[in-house]
Structure 1
């Protein structure tokens, strides 16, 4: 197939439209249930009140706002793909934004800005404090302001909205790669997201990961749990070594979501038993480097250790559950003296995907029974 044929085929699979809409129209669509903002996403989009105020200020001053992207569902409802934080801020300001449990959130009170210092303390409408409320004229002008809306129309390729969300929210976004993956999971299979999130909170798993507060806020524990399942089912022979690790994890996750062979119940059992074993014998040292000269585990959590140890044990779990604990601890300590491990982890500039290929093969060798 030629390049032009590929372009022509894909163009036919995605149908789009777009036009300016007033904020009043968008507000009414949300109020009537015709515009859907995924409430679960609100935990990942973290604008503070200063950022929200600056966005409202931009609308008031007529500063151009980037387009909003939506996908039209079977019932005609628009599902927001990009622009959730912008729309959420508008809806929170006018006092109709609903949280995850369906409750209406408290209206946003604005802060003073460099250009509009009198915004400080202003609300959309407070009948008990008219002095700090927008005037009727200001509310009308605000609702007449327009945003450009791009629409993926009904009949487009079902995966188009996932691809669009990923592209629009990668690069220049305040979201981490894993937060984007979490959103993709919620969009495509919320049950899987809740399953993975629940496992990431498993006490044995958490105890083996001495993560910082920042890492936990950015949900790196969920990414590590996802890596466990991706690596367990990885055929390293298909990796070229040129893949970007972030894209690889995302694409592997989407493959799992589409798979009919991924046994959630069995995978959860293996996950829990693997980390129960590791927590019992090493606790938070499970994935720290062992320093033979000091005869102790040192440093922070290492992805390289995780790639070797958790996967190797999980693939031969029954055997290692029966192994003498001291013998297993020695096996883990010896890994850090293995020439392949030392060469791979000390070599500067090695791509994460190549490190994974090498250490997965090493894990297969060292933990085979």
Structure 2
């Protein structure tokens, strides 16, 4: 019991926060004066639909409370946005001040159909400009902020971001990992983003636009790195394991990153030249057909990665092709990847098998 209380007290003191109620007008002024930072890297992850943005503005107009915004106060007293990107960005875009974005034009809603075509300012068509009374009401509307003070543990903002977003519907697990990587080390994120944008890699996956938008390809890239260069933790769910690897990548030295990148490039260049978009589809006896299979990705990419020196020689291309084709007849593969299987139970058996199989 003493250990529990001591550990709670140690962690509790690492989070120092303050709550503050601010008008939206003040928030806009802070942004225009560079006193609140929305990291430019986040903008590429800003993916609310137009309708979602309009509904937020409608909620504020109707006086419906919106969730708190979380910011981190750095050593200079500047606030860095930790959680609330979509909400803050939508507000700033409607006010016409969001850098790199055109002003938001509202659309008709269920409760206020007259919002159709309304802008904050509209010199071309003044009848479609938000009335001055509503402008004042919006500027004066209050928004709640939770401020993570700079006396907090330096990793507090990352911990808060992950906890607030994990399990939510607005961001996939990989989007959360990407944001954490950006916050901790933008240079490492650029490296990882460049790696998972590799043409050969993307062509072997053949993913839908929806999965690409959710950055599933980046999760697969992380999964490849994790299974090829790190030990699998059987005690953790795969998502938690990938969270850990995501943070470990941030600590890697450049020489190790170069090794990973070289192996990654060779592996997917070989697969794309051999099978292209069929690389991770099941062989049905005549051809590789169907959807992308996560279990195939784990087995083939990791097995090839660990034996890439052997298969770098084009003389072994036929052998590799036959190995991939015959993978789907292997008892171990079928037993671990059938219906009802899950990655946590599959990976500890499938990956060692695949490494030996492709050897």
- After TM superposition, the score normalised by the length of structure 2 is 0.94
Task: Pick the aligned partner of 1:206 from 193, 199, 202.
Answer: 202
Are 2:332 and 1:340 equivalent residues in the alignment? yes
State the alpha-carbon separation in 2 of the partners of residues 203 and 138 from structure 1.
49
Contact 2:205–2:292 (Cα < 8 Å) also in 1: yes
- 1:223 maps to 219
- 2:84 maps to 83
Aligned-pair distance for 1:262?
A: 6.5
State the alpha-carbon separation in 1 of the partners of residues 102 and 204 from structure 2.
39
- 1:43 maps to 44
State the alpha-carbon separation in 2 of the partners of residues 50 and 126 from structure 1.
20
Alignment of 1:126-137 (within 5 A): 126-137=122-133
Instruction: Pick which of 123-132 and 159-168 moved more.
Output: 123-132
Give the paired residue count. Answer: 357
Relative to 1, partners in 2 of residues 1:321 and 1:131: Cα closer, same or farther, differing over 3 Å?
Answer: same
State the alpha-carbon separation in 2 of the partners of residues 156 and 138 from structure 1.
39
Q: Deviations over 1:29-84 (max 9, x none)?
A: 10000111123223333222222122111111211111111111122211111111
State the alpha-carbon separation in 2 of the partners of residues 184 and 250 from structure 1.
10
Contact 1:44–1:175 (Cα < 8 Å) also in 2: no
Task: Pick the aligned partner of 2:274 from 260, 271, 281.
Answer: 281
- 1:95 maps to 96
Moved over 6 A (4+): none
Aligned-pair distance for 1:207?
A: 2.1
Are 2:231 and 1:239 equivalent residues in the alignment? no
State the alpha-carbon separation in 2 of the partners of residues 114 and 327 from structure 1.
62
Contact 1:209–1:287 (Cα < 8 Å) also in 2: yes
Alignment of 1:151-300 (within 5 A): 151-236=147-232, 238-240=233-235, 243-260=236-253, 263-291=256-284, 294-300=285-291
Relative to 1, partners in 2 of residues 1:316 and 1:209: Cα closer, same or farther, differing over 3 Å?
Answer: same
Instruction: Pick which of 352-361 and 168-177 moved more.
Output: 168-177
State the alpha-carbon separation in 1 of the partners of residues 269 and 225 from structure 2.
16
Task: Pick the aligned partner of 1:320 from 292, 296, 311.
Answer: 311
Task: Pick the aligned partner of 1:120 from 116, 140, 144.
Answer: 116
Aligned-pair distance for 1:109?
A: 1.4
State the alpha-carbon separation in 1 of the partners of residues 251 and 169 from structure 2.
26
Aligned-pair distance for 1:351?
A: 2.7
Q: Deviations over 1:191-230 (max 9, x none)?
A: 2222222222222212211212222222222221111111
For the residue of structure 2 that corresponds to 1:2, the secondary structure is helix
Aligned-pair distance for 1:169?
A: 1.5
- 1:330 maps to 322
For the residue of structure 1 that corresponds to 2:180, the secondary structure is helix
- After TM superposition, the score normalised by the length of structure 1 is 0.91
State the alpha-carbon separation in 2 of the partners of residues 79 and 145 from structure 1.
21
- 2:296 maps to 305
Relative to 1, partners in 2 of residues 1:326 and 1:5: Cα closer, same or farther, differing over 3 Å?
Answer: same
State the alpha-carbon separation in 2 of the partners of residues 41 and 185 from structure 1.
11
For the residue of structure 2 that corresponds to 1:148, the secondary structure is strand
Are 2:12 and 1:17 equivalent residues in the alignment? no
Relative to 1, partners in 2 of residues 1:279 and 1:113: Cα closer, same or farther, differing over 3 Å?
Answer: closer
State the alpha-carbon separation in 2 of the partners of residues 260 and 7 from structure 1.
33
